[in-house]
Copies of this chain bind each other. A is one copy, B any other.
Amino acid sequence: MKVSQVGEDALLASLLRGSLGSPKLIGDDCVVVEFRDAKNLLVLKTDCVVERIHFQSATDPALVGWKAMMRPLSDFAAISGIPQFALITLIIPAKRSMHWVHELYRGLNRAAVKFDLAIVGGETSATRGPVAISVSVAGYVERNRSVSRSGGKRGDDLFVTGRLGGSLRGKHLRFVPRIEESRWLTTHFGVHAMMDLSDGLGADLPRFARASKLGFKIDKAALPLAAGAKIDNAISDGEDYELLFAISPRDRQRLEKSWRKKFPKLPLTRIGCLIQPLNNSTSQVLPGGYIHFQ
Please list the residues of chain A having a beta carbon within 8 angstroms of any beta carbon in chain B.
1-6, 8, 11-12, 14-16, 18-22, 25, 28, 30-31, 33, 35-40, 42, 44-50, 52-54, 84-85, 87-99, 101-102, 105-106, 108-109, 112-113, 116-130, 132, 134, 136, 138, 140, 292-293
Chain B residues, Cβ within 8 Å of A19? 108-109, 112, 118-120
Chain B residues, Cβ within 8 Å of A38? 35-38
Among residues of B, the one whose C-beta sits closest to the C-beta of A29 is B121
7 interchain pairs (CB within 8 A)?
A: A28-B121, A31-B85, A31-B120, A46-B89, A47-B123, A50-B91, A127-B129
Q: Are A91 and B44 in contact (CB under 8 A)?
A: no
Q: Are B54 and A94 in contact (CB under 8 A)?
A: no
Q: Are A89 and B47 in contact (CB under 8 A)?
A: yes
Q: Are A125 and B53 in contact (CB under 8 A)?
A: yes
Chain B residues, Cβ within 8 Å of A37? 38-40
Chain B residues, Cβ within 8 Å of A123? 12, 46-48, 134
Q: Are B113 and A20 in contact (CB under 8 A)?
A: yes
Question: Which of A45, A48, A50, A52 has its CB near the most chain B CB atoms (within 10 A)?
Answer: A48
Q: Are A2 and B96 in contact (CB under 8 A)?
A: yes
Q: How many whole Å from A274's CB to the nearest CB in chain B? A: 25
**Given A20-B112, A113-B20, is A293 in contact with B15 using a C-beta cutoff of 8 Å?**
no
Majority SS at the chain A contact face: mixed
Q: How many whole Å from A50's CB to the nearest CB in chain B? A: 5
**Given A3-B95, A37-B39, A98-B1, is A124 in contact with B53 using a C-beta cutoff of 8 Å?**
no
Q: Are A124 and B50 in contact (CB under 8 A)?
A: no
Q: Are A98 and B136 in contact (CB under 8 A)?
A: no
Question: Which of A6, A85, A116 has its CB near the most chain B CB atoms (within 10 A)?
Answer: A85
Q: How far is it, in angstroms, between the C-alpha of A184 and the C-alpha of B176 when the chains are bound? A: 46
Chain B residues, Cβ within 8 Å of A36? 38-40, 140
**Given A120-B21, A125-B54, is A2 in contact with B97 using a C-beta cutoff of 8 Å?**
yes
Question: Which of A19, A20, A89, A106 has its CB near the most chain B CB atoms (within 10 A)?
Answer: A19
Question: Which of A31, A47, A121 has its CB near the most chain B CB atoms (within 10 A)?
Answer: A121
Q: How far is it, in angstroms, between the C-alpha of A152 and the C-alpha of B179 when the chains are bound? A: 42
Q: How many whole Å from A115's CB to the nearest CB in chain B? A: 10
Q: Are A14 and B101 in contact (CB under 8 A)?
A: yes
Q: Are B31 and A121 in contact (CB under 8 A)?
A: yes
Chain B residues, Cβ within 8 Å of A15? 88, 90, 105, 108, 119, 122
Q: How far is it, in angstroms, between the C-alpha of A85 and the C-alpha of B36 when the chains are bound? A: 12
Q: How far is it, in angstroms, between the C-alpha of A128 and the C-alpha of B125 when the chains are bound? A: 17
Query: Of B53, B85, B95, B98, which is within 8 A of A33 by CB?
Result: B85
Q: How many whole Å from A100's CB to the nearest CB in chain B? A: 8
